[in-house]
Amino acid sequence: MKDFLLIFRSPEHAGPAASPEEMQANLKLWMDWFGSIAAQNKLSDRGNRLAHDGKVVRPNQVITDGPYTEIKESIGGYIGVKAESLEEAATMASTCPVLLDGGNVEVREIAI
């Protein structure tokens, strides 16, 4: 088994905020997805959600709000999983709820 990092990216939303019911339904999707990985004993790191606001620091004292000026999506969080191969890890990521929302998952093996 190797360790992989799954990094979730979602697009910037300009639309109206989700209703509590939608949020609840979304939470269930995420929890069922997490539960599915954990039930296979393949969740190695519960990971973290990242807060929305951020700053990007560049050389010469250039500090800007968020990474959003160039790319229209931001990293929302990450988890660690165990898998035999990059392909298996990618299959696990293929059912991630972030995909339903126009987001994507970057799958990277953690180098030893």
Q: Tell me the closest approach of the beta carbon of residue 5 to other proteins, in angstroms.
A: 17
List interacting residues with other proteins (CB under 8 A).
28, 31-32, 34-36, 38-41, 43, 46
Cβ-based nearer residue to other proteins, 74 or 81: 81
Cβ-based nearer residue to other proteins, 46 or 58: 46
- Measured CA to CA, the distance from residue 112 to residue 110 in angstroms comes to 6
Q: Tell me the closest approach of the beta carbon of residue 82 to other proteins, in angstroms.
A: 11
Cβ-based nearer residue to other proteins, 74 or 105: 105
- Measured CA to CA, the distance from residue 63 to residue 55 in angstroms comes to 7
Beta strands 55-58; 62-65: pairing state? antiparallel
- Measured CA to CA, the distance from residue 36 to residue 33 in angstroms comes to 5
Residues with Cβ < 8 Å from 72, sequence gap 6 or more? 11, 12
Q: Tell me the closest approach of the beta carbon of residue 81 to other proteins, in angstroms.
A: 12
Q: Tell me the closest approach of the beta carbon of residue 32 to other proteins, in angstroms.
A: 7
